[in-house]
Amino acid sequence: MERKTITDTLQRPLRDLRISVTDRCNFRCTYCMPKEIFGRDYEFLGRDQLLSFEEIERLSRIFVAHGVEKIRLTGGEPLLRRDIEKLVSMLANIEGLQDIAMTTNGSLLIPKAKALKEAGLKRITVSLDSLDDATFMSLNDVDFPASKVLEAIDASADAGLTPVKVDMVVKRGVNDQDIVSMAGHFRNTGHILRFIEFMDVGSTNGWRMDEMVSAAEIVERINAVWPIEPVDPNYYGEVAERYRYIDGAGEIGIIASVTVPFCSACTRSRLTADGQLFTCLFGVRGHDMRSLLRSGASDEEIGAFLSRVWGQRTDRYSEIRSEGTIPLEKVEMSRIGG
């Protein structure tokens, strides 16, 4: 298939594909998969509803032919999907694909890091919301200790998946007291700690604006201890705002979807584990690609469908959030993979 670039109604090119390979997770983070909703009786996707590795690989080829350069594997928790390194190596063989990354909670990473790297994984992002076990356990709600995640970050570095990005979702009154201690821990490690403003993803995490700690406040708190300065983005559409320590101790990032929206350069598409294409993290309705795959559609037909969907894209949710026209039933983070 000939490679081409497709743009949406705001002239944003399709460059990134985030693939959720499972809607299951072994954590129950309160801002993503609260236990009250995702409890014992919750019906997760069945095996036959999930896209197979072959289906994911085929769709990825078509997305790459339409401009995608980077694929990120997400979940739920992607390492719950058996033999995930097999999928990584299938994707690594796609011509034109420049980067394969993964976002994980790190709980299953230690025995897998080396195999993922060997399979072709280029970058890894590990979520860690606090160094304090009591706080971290209250957030992941499965009593998983922070020390184990730190070991997983070390294992990723040993495997050559460097720099490791470490994502911290900051919630006021829950873990914002750990902003400076987290920054202190990752200074001079070469890893990039990124603070994420608490977002109203989905409709089950009970989001409130007053529980969100803004990027400006996070910068202020760190700058008061270790002076930092802004750095230019690495590339068009980069999500995190970059800052570096003036004393040379490294870099941090802030993902400020609420206070500094970045929709104008958003090049990201998302695929759920059951093959629904979403053009925004805060989307309400997906576009069914699995039925196309399973009804014998050709690559050209699927490509045309993708071009049509992306070509009609108008999403800029974070920019209009403050206008108050918020849809109720947004797709859940665990389904769309962040």
For residue 316, state whether it binds ligand SF4 (rule: CB under 6 A).
Answer: yes
* Residue span 217-256 as binding mask against ligand SF4, x where in contact by CB under 6 A, dash where not: ----------------------------------------
Asked if 142 and 77 touch (Cβ cutoff 8 Å), the reply is no
Minimum distance from residue 277 beta carbon to ligand SF4 (Å)? 13
Note whether 92 binds ligand SF4 by CB under 6 A. no
Q: How far is CA 264 from the centre of its chain?
A: 18
Of 89, 103, 318, 334, the residue at the interface with ligand SF4 (CB under 6 A) is 318
Specify whether the CB–CB gap between 280 and 9 falls below 8 A.
no
Give the count of residues interacting with ligand SF4 (CB under 6 A). Answer: 12
Question: How far apart are CB 335 and ligand SF4 at their closest, in Å?
Answer: 14
Q: Does 280 bind ligand SF4 (CB under 6 A)?
A: yes
Distance CA 170, CA 329 (A): 24
Interaction between residue 56 and ligand SF4 (CB under 6 A): no
- Interaction between residue 282 and ligand SF4 (CB under 6 A): yes
Q: How many CB atoms lie within 10 A of CB 172?
A: 16
- CA-nearest of 133, 153, 154 to 144 is 133
Segment contacting ligand SF4 by CB under 6 A, of 77-85, 203-211, 257-265, 302-310: 257-265
> What 3-state class would DSSP assign to 19?
strand
Phi/psi at 149 (nearest 5 deg)? -70, -35
For 166, the token pair is: 């470490």
Q: What residues line the site for ligand SF4 (CB under 6 A)?
A: 257, 262-263, 266, 268, 280-282, 315-318
